[in-house]
Structures are given as C-alpha cells and as structure tokens.
Homo-oligomer: A and B are copies of this chain.
Amino acid sequence: MKTLIIVGHPTPDSSATQQFLKAAVQDLSGVKWHELASVKGNFVANEERQLLQKSSRVVLQFPLYWYNVPDLLKRWQDQVFTDINQVSLAGKELGIVVNVGKAVQEFRLGGTVGFSLSGLLSPLAAWAKHFQMKLLPLFVIDRFEYQNLKQQQQLLIAYQQFLELPQPVTFAAQEAWFLDKLKEKVDLASGRQRQQLELIMQQLQEKTTKLADLQAVLRPIRKDDQIHGN
C-alpha cells in the first residue's frame, strides 16, 4: 500500500504539529509526504494527479482554519480537479487528518463552536463520494501544543497506524503492527539493550495471546450491545 499525505498547511515549517507528524513518517517506507506549500504559483494539475494515481490511500492533512480547510488545500482542489474525467480515484481510500486549535469538546452541540467536526468537514465527504473513494474515520489532533509527552507518544503511534494499517483497524492488527515495529528495533540493537527488548517483546506476545483468548470469550456477549448500546 502506498500512502500519500497531502499537507495543506500554508507554512508547515512553522507548525509544531506538522513538524511532529513529519518526523513520525521519516521511517515509514510506503508513505510519501507532499507539502502543497512547496508548490510555487499554480498547481500543475497533471503532476498532482499522477501522485494521486500512484497511491492507494490519500490523506488530506491540515489545520482547521475558520471551521474549514485552509485556502491552500481548497486551491489545490479547485485547480487540480477541473476536468474530472482526467482523474480516477475510485476505490482509493481517503483519510482526513485535521488538527484543531480549540478543544474538540467545543465542537459538540452547545459548545462554543457548536458544529461537529464531521459536519464541518462534510464537503470533503461529498468530494470523496463524488470520486467513489472510501472515506476513513476522521483523525483529529486535539491542540497538539497542549499535549504532554505521553499524549504525544500515543498520537505518534495512532498516526503511524492510521497511515499504515488496513482499514477497518482491528485490535489484533494493531498488536501485530506493534510487535513488528519492536522487532525492527531488536534487530538494530545489540548486547544488553537487545536482551531487554527481546524480553519486552516476549511479554507483549504472551499478553497478546491472552487478550485474544479473552476476546473470543467476550465476542458473543458484546455482539448485541454493539448495535443498540447497553
């Protein structure tokens, strides 16, 4: 799978969020980072379309400006998708990574914003529907600058998994992904560090097996709840 990240931030170099996310994809081989801000003047529609054609998952990544996509990303849409017959995106996945400057909870009914992020971003859902793309669950980054180290670590993992894992994401796939990443680290380590990492990996594998057993027990119980709540 090739994932293309369309970075719609007008000045990504000055954005702590975008720099953090950029660092997070450095080691991901199947992921291409494409900053729209690096294109000077008008977009060359054909070049942009070719990038899209090569990808199976397209991620639009941007800060919410005035409850909408930034001007730069809208310009990309308006300039690149003029003759819609020249591009076929059918069957590709569309991911949306949006970071907000107001607390996510303000986007609920009665919050200071009072409009949901899913509603505000529905033009992108309509766009995905137009091109018969499969829309992935919205990935929201809640005020990166207020996150502590642990929250940032969790964000890093969730973001990498959002880019790399097949959808819909299962718990088993997340565990396997984590073990894979750990194995890469083990292979690069040596001596005492390697022994420690191997021990962690062994414990994680055992827990994963136990969790899988537990889930098998829980599955028939949860089946009904998932439809109606409880």
* Contact surface of A with B, Cβ cutoff 8 Å: 10, 65-71, 74-75, 77-79, 81, 113-115, 119-120, 122-123, 125-127, 129-130
Contacts and interface: CB of A to CB of B under 8 A. Distances in A.
Given A71-B74, A120-B126, 8 more contacts: A10-B78, A65-B77, A66-B81, A66-B127, A68-B74, A70-B78, A114-B126, A119-B122
Contact of A120 (B71, B81, B123, B130): B123
Contact of A68 (B79, B119, B123): B123
List of 10 A-B pairs having minimum Cβ-Cβ separation, nearest first: A68-B123, A67-B126, A67-B123, A71-B75, A71-B74, A71-B78, A115-B126, A74-B74, A66-B77, A115-B122
27 contacts: A10-B78, A65-B78, A66-B77, A66-B81, A66-B123, A66-B126, A66-B127, A67-B122, A67-B126, A68-B68, A68-B69, A68-B123, A69-B74, A70-B78, A71-B71, A71-B77, A71-B78, A75-B75, A113-B129, A113-B130, A114-B126, A115-B122, A115-B126, A115-B129, A120-B122, A120-B123, A122-B122
Contacts of A71: 71, 74-75, 77-79
Main secondary structure of the interface of A (DSSP, over half): helix
A123 B115 CA distance: 8
A12 to B, nearest CB: 15
B127 A67 contact: yes
With most chain B CB atoms within 10 A of its CB, the pick from A10, A120, A122 is A122
A122 to B, nearest CB: 5
